Structure 1
Amino acid sequence: MIAPQQQSGVATFSADFVVQQLTNSPDIEVVKTVQPPRLFGFQSAELGQAPLSPLVLARMAPDKAKLLQTQAGTRLAVERDERLSYMLDPTTPQMPNPGVLTPLADGFSTTIEVLGQTGPLSDAEVYVFGSMWPTQGVTDAAGRVTLSIQGERPDTIRSILVKAKVDYWTFWLDRPQLVPNSVNRIVVRALAASLRDFPGRQLMGWGERAMGLDRVPPGYDGAGVKIAVIDSGTAPTHRNLRGVTRGTSIVGNDKMAWTVDTIGHGSHCAGIIAGGPVPGGGGIRGFAPAAEIHVCRIFPGGRFSDLVSALDYCMEQGIDVANMSLGGGEPSKIIEDRIVRAKQLGMACIIAAGNSSGPVQFPASTPHCLAVAAMGKWGEFPEDSYHAQQALDGFRSRDGYFPAKFSCFGPEIDVCAPGVGIVSSLPADGFGAWDGTSMATPHVTGLAALVLAHHPDFKGAFQNRDGRRVERLFQILKETATPLQFGDPNRTGAGLPNAMRALGLETGVAPGAAAPVADPSLDTLRRLLGLAQVDAPSMIPAGAMAPQSAQPMQNGASHVARGPAQTTGATSAPTMMDPNPAQIREIMHKVGLL
């Protein structure tokens, strides 16, 4: 990737000049030029920013690229077009290096038969872990797979993992008693066995409940906000994703390929963000079912240059929040420049920290985004599922929360969110319980959309699409989060975001904003009844949410600075709520009508 850089007092290389120079150079092949977003120059002029230059993709040897960077100096950014990876459900444990182990035996063969609620399950992934490297296979139409396990004996097998394609929990068993040259039957649990009446009854997942979405009034649905899911596409025919009608495929030549999700990753993320109701109910409920969802398909095969094109698409479309459950490679100035410019245009990038159990991956490591780590909760999945293996030893809160052992961590983490045993949509019309920071990130993205749509700050002092708007959004999400006492803030950041507090429904407004306002249900009823406005912010109906002070960030937390906090002293208009019948009766009693 080659991009001209803006330098004060120095003429910037044009894309045509760069292409000409590269074309004239031996052993360099110009692949394509990625133009910046349409109308971007006009938007930049309003912001006082120079427009971004086109991105040139060229194929050359590493030493040639190094020479080009040396010769061009700071006037060109020359970077490897790294391959991106989606934060796949981390159900394959990390095994020791097999090169340092010695085979214990000649090996043996065994057949695994996987049975579900209605009989044999096809397409189930089976992993057998011994002293060396895992052996894996996929069940056939009869629910069976025969595995040839090299260098092991039955007594050296440590564990077995079964992962059905859809609609079942994973299964994990330590020290299985596998019988060679025979059929070993394993029965897996259907999701419906633990989730009452699912999927016939609409499910609000444990993650949404942990973040307080079940307490948010139904009218808070994210209407008017645009969300981008930069991922593997989606399944718009899924019962909960039929409202997803916009998108583009960055990879390949078919722009409509975003409607095909061969991996399932993008569909799972989209369901958490915006899973919508279907006639008669059923399936899953997302955070912002009325938001306008744009799907940017960059997997499989996505690279950094594809992420540039996806971000450009988002800026063209006026996206408010971009969900990126992806990462990989060394930090890229070209990618970071795009994220910075998107932020200047009022677009918030919320990015998964990574699943490698190590340092926060790029691009979540950039200070211009909101980086999300993953956590889980005991009791929300079967104890014989692989989800139970994801708890980090030695960490557990009084509420049963734990940091996920796969989650990347470090001072760059801003918040943590549910990412273990998360049930969401999978193609074509099924469901699956997955783990990963990929699953944690759309929880935060969905809440961010609700805040932008319904928090009074974004209808007042922070309604303009600029960097201040994004900083204010991030500030609200972090300052209203609930700290988790895991003893290591690098794993949780500010803590678990809280929907009621972030929306200003539990404290009136988020910390740092305007003073609390009168209860909106009371104000609404007074206006409907033609009563005079009374300064009575303490008149809160019985059963309504009483104001509480926001919980501060954990003392001693070490976080990377993400820009100056934005505050305002301006008075914000109250957010309107529809009072329920019990509240109406109580309010009418208070005002003397009952």
Structure 2
Amino acid sequence: MANFILLPATQTQTNEDTNPKVKNFLTTVLEPAVKSESLKLSARMPAKQEKKISVKVLDSIQEDGAKLVQLSDDELADFRFSYPGFRIIKEKFYKKAIIYHEAIEKKAKKSQVNNKLQITVTDKAGNPLKDIYIVAFTDFANRLGDSGTTTAKGKVTLALKGKRIQRMYVYPEHSYWGYYRASFTAAASLHIALTSIDINYKDVLRYFYPTASWPSIPASIRVGIIDTGVGPHKDLVVSGGMNCVKDEDPKDFKDNGEGHGTHVAGIIGASGGVHGVAAGVEIFSYRVFPVGKSASNFYIMKAINQAILDKCDLINMSLGEEGEDEGIISYIKQAYNAGVLCFCANGNDDRGKVNFPASYSLSVAVSAMGRKKTFPASVVETSSIKAPYGKDKANFIADFSNIGPETDVTAPGVGIISTFPDDRYAIMDGTSMACPAATGMAARLLSAAPEILAMPRTQARADEMLKYLSVRIRSLGFKPTFEGKGMLLSE
């Protein structure tokens, strides 16, 4: 059995032009089955070969909209011919566009291990730090080494082949900067003291956007954040949203605990301890990531649909995957036709091709850039510096950022300080961070164009929003495949 999405042939919901049989099938046959057992539908076959198709309806986007159903591969063709008028799209899953922790792929054989390295991690005052992930590579090209997480005493022991370490990464989840060191010989023990996050530190986001000195924008702009959920955090006010994950409470749209969506939201609209680019916007949270899992294209479609219903002006999607997706394309197109712009992260595959949905022409695709000396020495972010450099040689496109002709703009995405659940702060890297920087700046700029925001919610409104933003983009001196047209700036 596999999961598929059923969409009307030309729309995301039925309308007056829809085949009445399709509308009837969605609303009177499939919709009541959302919370029931599998249906047995008749297949169109010669009378002597009568057959039933087993269909289980798992979820729905409005009663006359897309349905997530379960069908066997063997019965898919029978369903397609028996119930024409639908697009049948396979369920697909999307990852967050954040830089994940480096990980080993293999350990040395026990007979080859000749170095037990004990590492102690503390803060600058010497207090031990627990749950800090550390990975050390003795052969980075082949991802050979060892990794572990510190105990309550701040200690972890790694079993390594040799004392020469090519790369070491130290990853705290929140509250501290990470640590990076390359090409060194380790003794039997090593002490690492991590630097606490200073929320007044000028990271690359605040270098280009002096957010602490900017006034709040009028609260007439709504930004939908399709992610892991948002908050709770004292610097964030969430105006509404929906949990779009199947079998979860639709009203529980706070962060699922991973922190990604809260970090994204802080970049856009935090106010208090840290300041987002567009403090004062109305934030709407749409959770699409189950805990520890990827996001279904159906959940993302459901989130876009709800953002349109909630009259969001901009949508932020810091997620992606390879290949196009007909279902998500349909809903991004619907958003554009409703006067809503979707900003999407390019992805983080080490200068690979731009991921979908950023690669779709009606999305605004965002790459990630960084700037030297906007993060402390010896932190993980130093490993992201890579040519080419901009007109200002301190600026660079992050080594992890995907690039390509689909890129529309670039934005700060290396070493970004933002909010983390339960009133904490964290450093994150990725086009996941660059995307909300661009979304937030778009919101700030559009707040000065009330005549555009007041337009009827049609394609013409989205067109005018893009035109207005386009003249406020400045090139940083990279090729278009790296930066698109450049960076959104206030001057």
Q: Shared fold by TM > 0.5?
A: yes
> Equivalent residue for 1:400?
394
Alignment correspondent of 2:8 = 4
**Offset at residue 153 of structure 1 (A):** 2.1
Indicate conservation of the 8 Å contact 1:110/1:184, yes or no: yes
Does 2:271 match 1:261? no
Aligned to 1:271: 266
**Match in the other structure for 2:35:** none
Matched to 1:489, the amino acid is P
Alignment of 1:193-212 (within 5 A): 198=199, 205-211=203-209
Q: Of residues 471, 475, 493 in structure 1, which corresponds to 2:467?
A: 475
Instruction: Determine the structure 1 residue equivalent to 2:324.
Output: 331
Q: Equivalents in 2 of 1:126, 1:274: separation in Å?
A: 32
Q: What code does the residue aligned with 1:467 have? A: Q
Deviation at 1:13, TM superposition (A): 5.2
SS in 2 for 1:363: coil
Q: 1:110 to 1:445 in 2, by over 3 A?
A: same
Q: Which residue number in structure 2 is paired with residue 92 of structure 1? A: 102
Distance 2:163 2:73 in 1: 48
Structure-2 residue corresponding to 1:466: 458
In the alignment, is residue 350 of structure 1 matched against residue 343 of structure 2?
yes
Tell me which of 34, 44, 51 is aligned to 2:60.
34
Greater shift, 305-314 or 74-83, is seen at 74-83
**1:166 corresponding residue in structure 2:** 174
Shift in CA distance, 378/205, structure 1 to aligned 2, threshold 3 Å: closer
Q: Higher strand share goes to which structure?
A: 2
Is 1:233 matched up with 2:240?
A: no
CA distance in 2, matches of 1:297, 1:382: 33
Within the alignment, does 1:154 sit opposite 2:163 as a pair? yes
Q: Which amino acid aligns with 2:425?
A: F
1:225 is aligned with what amino acid?
Answer: I
Q: Where do 5+ consecutive residues of structure 2 fail to align?
A: 31-38, 44-51
* Kept after mapping to 2: 8 A contact 1:12/1:75: no
CA distance in 2, matches of 1:102, 1:142: 28
Question: Residues of 2 paired with 1:469 and 1:245: CA distance?
Answer: 23
How many residues were matched structurally?
456
Separation in 2, partners of 1:57, 1:140: 43
Q: Are 1:422 and 2:416 counterparts?
A: yes
* SS at structure 2 position matched to 1:148: strand
Q: C-alpha deviations, 1:64-103, integer Å up to 9, x for none?
A: 54x368748984322221112111234427x7x869x999
Structure 1: stretches of 5+ with no match in the other structure:
38-52, 193-197, 278-282, 501-594
**Counterpart in the other structure of 2:68:** 57
1:187-586 matches, within 5 Å, as 187-192=193-198, 198=199, 205-211=203-209, 218=215, 220-236=216-232, 238-241=233-236, 243-251=237-245, 252-277=247-272, 283-300=273-290, 301=293, 302-357=295-350, 358-458=352-452, 463-486=455-478, 488-500=479-491
CA contact 1:422–1:439 (8 Å) conserved in 2: yes
Which protein, 1 or 2, shows the higher relative CO under an 8 Å CA cutoff with sep ≥ 6?
2
1:76 aligns with 2:65: no
Q: Alpha-carbon deviation of 1:411?
A: 1.0
Q: Deviations over 1:175-194 (max 9, x none)?
A: 24334xx44211222223xx
Task: Give the aligned residue type for 2:166.
Answer: R
C-alpha displacement of 1:395:
3.1
> Are 2:473 and 2:487, in contact at CA under 8 Å, matched by a contact in 1?
yes
TM-score by length of structure 1 reads: 0.70
| Shift of residue 10, structure 1, vs aligned partner | 8.4
C-alpha RMSD over aligned residues: 3.0
SS of the equivalent of 2:447 reads helix
Is the CA contact (8 Å cut-off) linking 1:91 and 1:435 kept in structure 2? no
CA–CA distance in structure 1, aligned partners of residues 176 and 375 of structure 2: 11
Residues 213/340 of structure 1: CA separation in 2 closer, same or farther (3 Å cut): same
Are the equivalent residues in 2 in contact too, given 1:349–1:369 (CA < 8 A)?
A: yes
Q: Secondary structure at the match of 2:348?
A: coil
Contact 2:98 2:433 in 1 (8 A): no
Shift of 1:138: 1.5
